[in-house]
Amino acid sequence: METKWRSYNPSGNRRVVVTKELPGKRWLEILGKADCRVEICTSTNVLSSDEIKTAIGNCCDAAIGQLTEHWDEDMFSALRAAGGIAYSNYAVGFNNVDVVEATKQRIPVGNTPGVLTETTAQMAVSLTFASARRMGESERFLRAGKYRGWLPTLFLGELLWRKTLGVIGTGRVGEAYARMMVEGHKMDLIYFDLHQNEPLEGYIAAYGTFLASRGIRPVTCNRAKRIEGLLAEADCVSLHTVLDETTRHLINAERLGLMKENAILINTSRGPVIDETALVDHCRKYPNFRVGLDVFEDEPELKPGLVELDNVVIVPHIASATGWTRQGMATLAASNVAALLMGYPVWQKPDISAFLGEDPPKAAPSIVNAKDLDIPIYDNSKDKM
């Protein structure tokens, strides 16, 4: 497939390479105001490292890359040699980026947190009920012309009302998903996280008190000491952990074997968190075990046998795919780059909503290695003047 590029603001004095077309126009306006000439790859194929380095050439001030690309020592050396002083990942996660090497090259690495939370949690909820109620399987049945009328036993699924929910990783998305499921379906929560989530526990305790005041049995929230205990107890398990060497194949054959035979497993985090080969074997062995996947171990490839499984719902990495979210990500990625090129400080606060408004702060929304590079922190007291 031929690789095509287009330019925005060709008279700009700073050159920024963007490896995929991003949604919306605001991100381009942000870079344009920073006097940037933006060169955008309009091809849908994933660019190789050599293709990206060719695009960087010998004169490039910054780059915005994708989670499908591997930004390693070689890539950051090429960017630095071309005069690059900024990089932003068009994603909240950055396991595709060697931040240590970027730091060695004195290149700040941006990401796009804060706009994916509700959208990704919503997709996890969607996959949960698509799996529990056998939506994919029943739709294929209907489209194939096999439906001959209502039957008492047709596509019986799982009722999650008042069941036990297990959440592994209660960061922003995991916490939002837990609240949606507990509030909406009165599920008891058990969660595993390296750190106690006191706000989540307090929220569910308060909700339980509210239910009790209405004569309804309160919901409960407990932190599991070990993942194994959570897996054995939960009726539905949703994964919301980061991907690193401690979480790769976190869910393997042994841990799958601890789960209930009719449990539901959801993954909207990163594909390699699950041993996909072991998952295929487990789903074949236990047809009432149901799975919803937005991400895959060897993305975009799927492990052999996965697509043939009726008890697995699969979607092509679209958890953050709402117009508002994807445009917000583009705004944040561009704001990171523009701010760094103009010498602005770093915001580094969880709430990034100010950057989506009409008068954004003169700061970079999120730079993961800001501390290591001694980049100044934005003084929020300026906004109160």
Which among 29, 118, 201, 299 is annotated as catalytic? Answer: 299
If you ran DSSP here, which 8-state letter would residue 70 be given?
-
Residue 139 burial by Cβ neighbours in a 10 Å radius (0-12, 13-18, 19+): exposed
Query: Residue 37 — φ and ψ, nearest 5°?
Result: -95, 120
Q: Which amino acid is at 242?
A: V
DSSP string, 286-344: -TT-EEEES--TBTTB--TTSTT-TTEEE-SS-TT-SHHHHHHHHHHHHHHHHHHHTT-
For residue 95, what are its two tokens? 């396991």
Nearest-angstrom CA–CA distance, 84 and 269: 30
Nearest-angstrom CA–CA distance, 302 and 333: 29
270 tagged catalytic: yes
Residue 269 burial by Cβ neighbours in a 10 Å radius (0-12, 13-18, 19+): buried
Nearest-angstrom CA–CA distance, 264 and 291: 6
Residue 249 burial by Cβ neighbours in a 10 Å radius (0-12, 13-18, 19+): middle
Residues 59, 88 contacting (CB under 8 angstroms): no
Q: Which of 259, 239, 258 is nearest to 249 (CA)?
A: 239
Which among 70, 133, 249, 317 is annotated as catalytic? Answer: 317
299 tagged catalytic: yes
Which among 37, 240, 255, 270 is annotated as catalytic? Answer: 270
Whole-angstrom CA distances from 38 to 14, 83, 334, 351 are: 8, 15, 10, 28
Residues that are catalytic: 270, 299, 317
